[in-house]
């Protein structure tokens, strides 16, 4: 049985349905469990934001969805994308859906883009490979995509190399590459982390506009609550490979239920914050090779009681569409 869940969207069938997702890395007789039973549904036009500190399992969760992990990784559970069981696909069919049904914006475009090919060549190559069109048609699509993501002087940038572009332009080129074949699902792995605040806002607004225009579903990974508020419909707060709180972004921000979510809010500067020092979460995330018994957050939690170390709590329903993984929430939630 999966250890975490997220209610399905009621209005439309899900584009992506994930049940009991696990990801573990095996090496030299050791096993590191990076994702520990994650469930969620996502429909077209909606954005789910995975929120949490570095090492909480956000990126591994997202890469698991398209099996983009090293050979030492073992992915478990069910991943159904647009009616296709991703876990059952062979390498050829998996390559076929990457870029068409699902595409990914990586965290650092300087390393994701190939330095020996022009930006236009890389975008055109994706179109030629997936759609079987000519190189001239692929180059035409590349120009259209650079225009779509608002790259100035797009025709000239077609023949630019990644090192010739600024950070903001590289990120726009990465987005153009990801959207070249009009995927239904976009995975965005902290795409604004390396950018300055002004460019970050521009990229977030662009992604939101493109999502509305193309009707995509989006999973957005971040550790920044401000970014989550700007981009998400729903949020899943992750800690030690598990969802510890899920819900509509506005409700989670206004009435957080899990002590970890409360800690993230208290340690973040946001509009309306009172002057004074921030309150950081004490300690550090757990060593995934040496997990504490019971609730993984208990050693850092000011509300922890003895029973927190007895077992890993289940996600308790606070109300329809809201869940939290905490025994204190479980004790006060009507059955």
Average pLDDT over residues 201-205: 85
Could you read off the pLDDT of 59-69 as tens digits, one per residue? Answer: 999 999 999 99
Q: CA 107 → CA 22, 57, 114, 184, 187, distances in Å? A: 22, 15, 15, 20, 11
Taking residue 198's Cβ as centre, other Cβ atoms within 10 Å add up to 8
197 phi and psi angles, rounded to 5 deg: -60, -40
Average pLDDT over residues 77-90: 95
Q: CA 161 → CA 27, 118, 158, 189, 321, distances in Å? A: 38, 4, 8, 22, 46
Could you read off the pLDDT of 106-147 as tens digits, one per residue? Answer: 888 888 899 999 999 999 999 999 999 999 999 999 999 999
The pLDDT of residue 287 is above 80 = yes
The pLDDT of residue 276 is above 90 = no
Q: Which residue has the tokens 């390396």?
A: 194
Burial (CB count within 10 angstroms: exposed 0-12, middle 13-18, buried 19+), residue 57? buried
302 phi and psi angles, rounded to 5 deg: -75, -15
Per cent of the chain over pLDDT 70 is 92
Domain span(s) for CATH 3.40.50.300 in the chain: 16-101+183-332
d(CA 230, CA 242): 23
The pLDDT of residue 277 is above 90 = no
pTM, 2 dp: 0.89
CATH-assigned architecture of domain 16-101+183-332: 3-Layer(aba) Sandwich (3.40)
296 phi and psi angles, rounded to 5 deg: -65, -25
The pLDDT of residue 6 is above 70 = no
The least confident of 150-159, 164-173, 260-269, 325-334 is: 325-334
Strand partners, 220: 49, 188
Structure tokens, 24: 């573990």
The per-residue pLDDT for 109 is: 82
8 A C-beta contact, residue 184 and residue 102:
yes
End-to-end CA separation in angstroms for the chain: 20
Q: Which of 145, 135, 53 shows the shortest CA–CA distance to 99?
A: 145
What angle do the packed helices 167-179 and 135-148 form, to 10 degrees?
Answer: 130
Q: Which of 165, 192, 175, 89 shows the shortest CA–CA distance to 126?
A: 175
Could you read off the pLDDT of 212-228 as tens digits, one per residue? Answer: 888 999 999 988 888 88
Q: Binning pLDDT at 50, 70 and 90, where does residue 1 land?
A: very low
8 A C-beta contact, residue 80 and residue 54:
no
User: Taking all residues of the chain, what is their mean pLDDT, rounded to a whole number?
Assistant: 89
Per cent of the chain over pLDDT 90 is 64
Average pLDDT over residues 318-323: 91
The per-residue pLDDT for 330 is: 61
CA 235 to chain centre: 10
Q: Binning pLDDT at 50, 70 and 90, where does residue 4 land?
A: very low
């Amino acid at each position: 049985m999966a250890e975490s869940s997220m209610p399905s969207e009621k209005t439309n069938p899900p584009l992506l349905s994930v049940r009991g997702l696990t990801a573990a890395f095996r090496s030299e007789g050791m096993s590191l469990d990076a994702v520990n039973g994650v469930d969620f549904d996502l429909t077209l036009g909606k954005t789910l934001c995975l929120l949490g500190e570095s090492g909480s399992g956000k990126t591994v969760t997202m890469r698991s969805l398209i099996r983009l992990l090293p050979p030492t990784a073992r992915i478990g559970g069910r991943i159904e994308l647009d009616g296709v069981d991703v876990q059952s696909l062979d390498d050829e069919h998996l390559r076929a859906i990457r870029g068409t049904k699902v595409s990914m914006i990586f965290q650092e475009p300087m390393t994701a883009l190939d330095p020996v090919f022009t930006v236009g060549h890389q975008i055109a190559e994706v179109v030629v490979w997936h759609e079987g069109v000519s190189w001239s048609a692929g180059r035409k699509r590349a120009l259209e995509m650079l225009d779509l993501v608002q790259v100035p002087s797009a025709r000239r940038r077609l023949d630019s190399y990644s090192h010739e572009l600024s950070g903001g332009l590289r990120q726009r080129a990465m987005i153009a590459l990801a959207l070249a074949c009009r995927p239904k699902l976009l995975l965005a792995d902290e795409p604004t982390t390396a950018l300055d605040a002004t460019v970050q806002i521009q990229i977030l607004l662009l992604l939101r506009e493109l999502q509305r225009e193309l009707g995509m579903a989006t999973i957005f990974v971040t550790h920044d609550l401000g970014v989550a508020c700007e981009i998400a419909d729903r949020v899943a707060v992750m800690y030690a490979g598990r969802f510890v709180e899920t819900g509509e972004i506005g409700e989670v921000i206004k009435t957080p239920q899990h002590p970890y979510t409360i800690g993230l809010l208290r340690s973040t500067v946001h509009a309306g914050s009172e002057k004074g020092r921030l309150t950081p979460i004490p300690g550090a995330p757990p060593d995934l090779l040496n997990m504490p018994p019971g609730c993984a957050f208990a050693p850092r939690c000011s509300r922890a009681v003895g029973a927190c170390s007895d077992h890993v709590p289940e996600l308790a329903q606070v109300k329809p569409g809201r869940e939290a993984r905490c025994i204190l929430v479980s004790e006060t939630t009507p059955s």
